[in-house]
Structure 1
């Protein structure tokens, strides 16, 4: 499996001043009532980050700067293929021995690949942390990558591709990346094309490991009942060797955003699936937070929702009252130096024209006329959703690993809360005017797309004045 959405919190200088003006007591509050995230860096660049909450269970994992963004058209799919091969046996454990060892200690071992990261993690009893780290180190460093296993896994990945092709939302977002980042690594899919999967060999996998799986590109993250010092000792034992030369590692190539569109017309489908996005910002950009709040203002809705006709959200009321769509959801996908900010919606051919126009009207409204009440409600909802997402050792561990890779530290929850609370309606409007208003969008659609407005009309709607239809 692989995940798409990630979130970040950074604040502008103006927001920092606003926070600082609240006084020393407020700043001191940031340091209390939250478990400390401890970080240690080994001489070879390998990092260990933990949050100890004194629980009987823990999650520990390796977060690696490796994904489809570090591939080319010729080897696209290698990172994901390698993730599959990690559980097929090592020089110390056969696949059966590995599976039995994990099962016998009641643990769970899993992995996923995204466009910029590959993750291997285990959830186990805290007392079994040393064994979990031993297993993780073994599958990363000693995988046999046997020819028979490679051939068997080709079929597994090809079947996975067939399943994803039946998920229209996944297809649309792959199309969106392909058109928004055409000609760049972010335009590649995570699984890769089928012709690559059929041709990837052991040498390709070994080469990718040597190029991307370097100590300075890894973070060993853990949450739950974990002793930081003991985990550091384990890291020294398993990952503390001398750093390999990093001269051969591929750097992060800039990925140019292109306003454009992909339409895959299939009149046999009952609904049109559309994603409309502008270029957002990367993890460390200070405009991330106001764009997150704007994202929350637009929100999400589907026909089965109890919220609708009487909800304060104007776009939601419009869709509920007029039945213009089956569902919609805003999204904010972040990468190191760029991102996609937009909305994904499902409708039918009879309503796709009006639905698109109404959605763009809402985008223009948020650019110019968003209210203080809407912003406060959006901030509260955002904070609630983020807190829910951090419920459990696995999401906390994931949060630690991702943040360590993206900007070198874990942002404490109180600091995150203060930064979000510092956002004003004017901050949201400024960000929307900068990144959404009069910008070239990327559009991807699949289904009966005949009535979807032409790209030139969609582009024109990105600067037309708000019509007041929601007033």
Structure 2
């Protein structure tokens, strides 16, 4: 990226919580924590200090299908950054005392998520949608499942997740490709193949259902989900546009109808999450308990409205918004590095801005309407409501409004 004085380096494994069985739920996230406690002869403190001394910062994140380790640094920090990330991934200390402490830390993270209604409601909806499957379990796992780990079992899990066949090394910013290749060979060229615990993720099935929990809160938190498509599906950009028009911004249908016209919610939006083989179309809202039932009926009506082809102006505006968001992200070195790694893990190659724009522009109103019918055709949904008891009836009301029409 010409003109930048900084570099972003990502080492991304195409493995995450989706690859866990129930007994190992949360192990990938705990592992991501543990490698920072010491690696390659450096202590937890020195790992951070050596990066910050070069004007950089280090971070990591665990998802359902990926685990990412990231460094942002001044342009001369690429060499050190690569060496440190290689140590984290291949040579963590896995000290027993550190593991005991980190289990406590993650237990507090689990408790914090349970205490945050706008976090918990998404976990509840995910569980309702994919109950009994890895995608239906929280990425953090549970105190019971992470409590069974030992330094040896967690290190075996590390070897399974971070094998050479699942890793992508990606950099953006002030980086020279030839220099990066040299560092990749130096620091990762001897990486051993995955251990015997490695396995492919089982196909996911959206089963649907409801989760309704009464809690003394000022407002109801609502998440509504419908089964969607995977990231490799030909209708992927039609899904992105559908979510944008449904609830992606202030001009969206949900915002205008639920907030501007009816005053039912301060925050309401639609989104999509896509995995390798499946996905969800979701709506989130926070509202008064007395308005929850009406709000889900409005959401159902607006979703059903997407089965009728949209007008040219609405589709054009959604395309501009989607491309704007995608391209603004490309102006961040870390975002570009992460997206490039994701492209390689998903498609086997990177996608140019021009290719993405062409895919977005190729979507027609008929494509979006056809996809809306496709999403509704299984007659399956999931809903989670967390808040005052009077709001709980909104969970089953969503399915009724969508599928039990006269």
Shorter-chain TM-score: what band? over 0.9
Kindly state the Cα deviation for residue 89 of structure 1 after the two structures are TM-superposed. Answer: 1.1
TM-score scaled by structure 2?
0.94
Residues 391 and 464 of structure 1, relative CA distance in 2, 3 Å threshold: farther
* Dislocated runs of 4+, deviation >6 Å: none
Kindly state the Cα deviation for residue 221 of structure 1 after the two structures are TM-superposed. Answer: 0.5
Q: Is 1:77 equivalent to 2:26 in the alignment?
A: yes
Q: Corresponding residue for 2:356?
A: 416
Q: Corresponding residue for 2:239?
A: 291
Q: Corresponding residue for 1:139?
A: 88
What do residues 178-209 of structure 1 show as CA deviations (whole Å, max 9, x unaligned)?
11111111111111112223332212211211
What do residues 195-244 of structure 1 show as CA deviations (whole Å, max 9, x unaligned)?
22333221221121121110010000100011111111111111112652
> Comparing 236-245 with 345-354, which one deviates more in the overlay?
236-245
Counterparts of 1:433-452 in structure 2, within 5 Å, are 433-436=373-376, 439-452=379-392
> Comparing 102-111 with 150-159, which one deviates more in the overlay?
150-159
Q: Corresponding residue for 1:29?
A: none
Kindly state the Cα deviation for residue 287 of structure 1 after the two structures are TM-superposed. Answer: 0.9
Q: Is 1:259 equivalent to 2:208 in the alignment?
A: yes
Give the root-mean-square deviation of aligned CA atoms: 2.0
Kindly state the Cα deviation for residue 423 of structure 1 after the two structures are TM-superposed. Answer: 1.2
What do residues 228-277 of structure 1 show as CA deviations (whole Å, max 9, x unaligned)?
111111111111126526665211211111021111122x2121111111
Kindly state the Cα deviation for residue 61 of structure 1 after the two structures are TM-superposed. Answer: 1.5
Q: Corresponding residue for 2:315?
A: 375
Is residue 281–residue 340 contact of structure 1 (8 Å, CA) maintained in 2?
A: yes
Between the aligned partners of 1:93 and 1:314, the Cα distance in structure 2 is 51
Between the aligned partners of 1:190 and 1:313, the Cα distance in structure 2 is 32
Aligned with residue 157 of structure 2, among 197, 208, 211: 208
Q: How many positions carry a matched residue from both structures?
A: 406
Is residue 36–residue 88 contact of structure 2 (8 Å, CA) maintained in 1?
A: yes
Is residue 33–residue 102 contact of structure 2 (8 Å, CA) maintained in 1?
A: yes
Is residue 65–residue 117 contact of structure 1 (8 Å, CA) maintained in 2?
A: yes
Q: Is 1:274 equivalent to 2:222 in the alignment?
A: yes
In structure 1, list runs of 5 or more residues that go unmatched.
Answer: 1-51, 302-306, 467-471
Q: Corresponding residue for 1:45?
A: none
Counterparts of 1:8-407 in structure 2, within 5 Å, are 52-53=1-2, 55-241=4-190, 243-244=192-193, 248-266=197-215, 268-300=216-248, 313=253, 315-407=255-347
Looking at secondary structure, tell me which structure has more helix per residue.
2
Kindly state the Cα deviation for residue 450 of structure 1 after the two structures are TM-superposed. Answer: 3.2
Residues 360 and 89 of structure 1, relative CA distance in 2, 3 Å threshold: same
What do residues 129-160 of structure 1 show as CA deviations (whole Å, max 9, x unaligned)?
11110111111111111111111212221222
Residues 365 and 245 of structure 1, relative CA distance in 2, 3 Å threshold: closer
Kindly state the Cα deviation for residue 322 of structure 1 after the two structures are TM-superposed. Answer: 1.9
Residues 330 and 454 of structure 1, relative CA distance in 2, 3 Å threshold: closer
Q: Corresponding residue for 1:26?
A: none
Kindly state the Cα deviation for residue 454 of structure 1 after the two structures are TM-superposed. Answer: 6.2
Q: Corresponding residue for 1:16?
A: none
Between the aligned partners of 1:229 and 1:402, the Cα distance in structure 2 is 21
SS of structure 2 residue aligned to 1:145: coil
